[in-house]
Structure 1
């Protein structure tokens, strides 16, 4: 999908910056090219402000995942939770899109960028497994902060490897958000009450962060190939669910049989997956990958609040300082520059 320059002057990872003269840029502002409609049929590409709020809303929904797992499926293996979430959310969204006549867009992604589809499926699967495993091992707040807090650094690294230099504002925002995540990581009270942050859980979170940065980058390539954002999400999560199908066949799914389990499964599939990633994809249309990844640090903020208020995890004063740094980073990266 074609793109426009972001407010920082950067171009998305995986897209080509069109040739333009300095005179044209000064007189006309950032170059823009027409784009197809995205999440809802007939709705044009959102502006930077709308895209920013879409990503923040998506990140807030994702912030409920860890709490939903710990309260609604406390005995379930993280892999089965990931499988139910992926297959349920992906299939629901896929059926809705096909019924709405969006199959040509879905086919465009499969034909135009098959390897990007595969990479997106694998990366989102690894992210979910690493993230939910980390949450189970070290608690909702710390597990989320390690996974999501490390993602901007990974995305920035991928940008450098792809020959893209993130802008100064992204660097400042990411330094603030990573510093906030580091403070929370250093604060023992960020974990579950009485729980010592284990090496395995931290490593699982770091792997999840790398996978998430990869997914963001690959998603840019996927929508650039002609798929709209919602079609890319449907393909990615349906594929992830199929990849995890052996887990559903061999794993213990008794938790889904209870009323609480049913509500949890539906929330994970519809709220955090179908709706969450449609909002996320809408943001991808107007923002570059490093910016999107940094905005999603709203997820650990939401997760931390829920962990403290609902799950009962403790957060000491140092943890709140870390949360404040995360908010500062979000304000910097989300601020609109210019008219």
Structure 2
């Protein structure tokens, strides 16, 4: 088998790993909606903290081997960890304030824009070509259609102000998501293994989230459904999802990886409609179709 075919196979595996991670992440909003009595800050700090700890433990051996490289890239590591700690707080608050569909859509859909800027400013690689821009345009139009189509949230008590605050927090989540994705890829590019990069960023980020959790822990309700929700989010989307994402980053540029994660808001929107009870108009379904075309183009290119 030629080296080119091996590289192509690895690239496709990376794409599928990121898409699978996005599928898992797309379930978090629906899961969190079943723990509505828990503060979004408590949900975010607990689930990302536990997930980060598990990722750090899983990558402990690789982190020890890469300690010198991590130390040489400590500023990149610290930036990634701080961004990682901010992300879940903004993300779950955005969903609580503006709904599962809009909160997830804005948070994840804005990330490709931010990561493209970050890569242009801080990375020597230039991975933004016409093909990427066409895919991004289709995905962006799909996101706009999807975000603007939500007409009803079952049992909603939201007002316009909270919705717009949720959208603002969604953009903050998108920026921090792009930042820690870029940081993880930058570490991998410097010879750090994917398990070390993801484990160290999430481990330090998890530690930074401990004070947030302690402050908001009084909002945790000891009930079976709350326990199930918290454990599910921490283990499945956070731990397993980010293991897959780290694997995918080995062969996928950060700009393309974040574009592929547009699959997450599409999944989240479907769950929001069929499980949570939110409604999406015909325009929103057209948006989902455009997002699918965007993903197919990116997957085919690999």
TM-score above 0.5: yes
**CA positional deviation for 1:118:** 0.7
Structure 1 stretches of 4+ with a deviation exceeding 3 A read: 190-197, 252-256
Shift of 1:165: 5.2
CA distance in 2, matches of 1:140, 1:240: 24
In structure 2, the residue matched to 1:280 is 245
- The reply to whether residue 298 of structure 1 matches residue 263 of structure 2 is yes
Q: In the aligned structure 2, how far is the partner of 1:306 from the partner of 1:326?
A: 16
Q: Which runs of 5+ in 1 are unaligned?
A: 1-27, 33-44
TM-superposed CA distance for 1:301, in Å, is: 1.0
Distance in 2 (CA, whole Å) between partners of 1:46 and 1:284 is: 14
Q: CA deviation at 1:256?
A: 5.5
Name the structure 2 match of 1:314. 279
Where in structure 2 are the equivalents of 1:319-338 lying within 5 Å? 319-336=284-301
Alignment of 1:62 with 2:25, yes or no, is yes
1:145 matched to 2:108? The reply is no
Residues 229-268 of structure 1: pairs in structure 2 closer than 5 A: 229-253=194-218, 255=220, 257-268=222-233
Q: How many residues align?
A: 294
**Residue of structure 2 in register with 1:50 after alignment:** 13
Distance 2:282 2:66 in 1: 48
Higher relative contact order (CA 8 A, sep 6+): 2
Going by fraction, where is helix more abundant, 1 or 2?
Answer: 2
Equivalent residue in structure 1 for 2:78, among 109, 118, 121:
118
**Alpha-carbon deviation of 1:29?**
6.9
Larger C-alpha radius of gyration, 1 or 2? 1
Q: RMSD of the TM alignment (CA)?
A: 2.3
CA–CA separation in structure 1 for the residues paired with 2:273 and 2:69? 41
- Separation in 1, partners of 2:114, 2:153: 23
- CA distance in structure 1 between the partners assigned to 2:66 and 2:49 by the alignment: 17
1:185 alignment counterpart: 147
- Please, which runs of 5 or more residues in structure 2 have no aligned partner? none
Q: In structure 2, do the counterparts of structure 1 residues 289 and 234 end up closer, same or farther at CA, with 3 Å as the change threshold?
A: same
Question: Would you say 1:211 and 2:173 are equivalent positions?
Answer: no
Does 2:83 correspond to 1:129?
A: no
C-alpha contact 1:78 1:132 (8 A) present in aligned 2: yes
Q: Measure, in 2, the Cα distance between the counterparts of 1:251 and 1:202.
A: 22
- Shift in Å at residue 216 of structure 1? 1.7
Cα deviation for residue 160 of structure 1 reads 2.8
Cα distance change of structure 1 residues 259 and 219 upon mapping to structure 2, 3 Å threshold: same
Pairwise CA distance, 1:259: 1.8
Whether 1:170 aligns to 2:170 is no
Aligned mates of 1:336, 1:133 — CA distance in 2: 35
Shift of 1:199: 1.4
TM (norm. structure 1) is 0.80
**Is the contact between residue 58 and residue 195 of structure 2 (CA under 8 Å) also seen in structure 1?**
no
Structure 1 residues 322 and 47 mapped into 2: Cα distance closer, same or farther (>3 Å)? same
Q: 1:46 to 1:109 in 2, by over 3 A?
A: farther
Distance (whole Å) between structure 2 residues aligned to residue 155 and residue 300 of structure 1: 17
Q: Give the whole-Å Cα distance in 2 for the aligned partners of 1:315 and 1:128.
A: 25
Question: 1:61·1:272 contact (CA, 8 Å) conserved in 2?
Answer: yes
TM-score by length of 2: 0.90
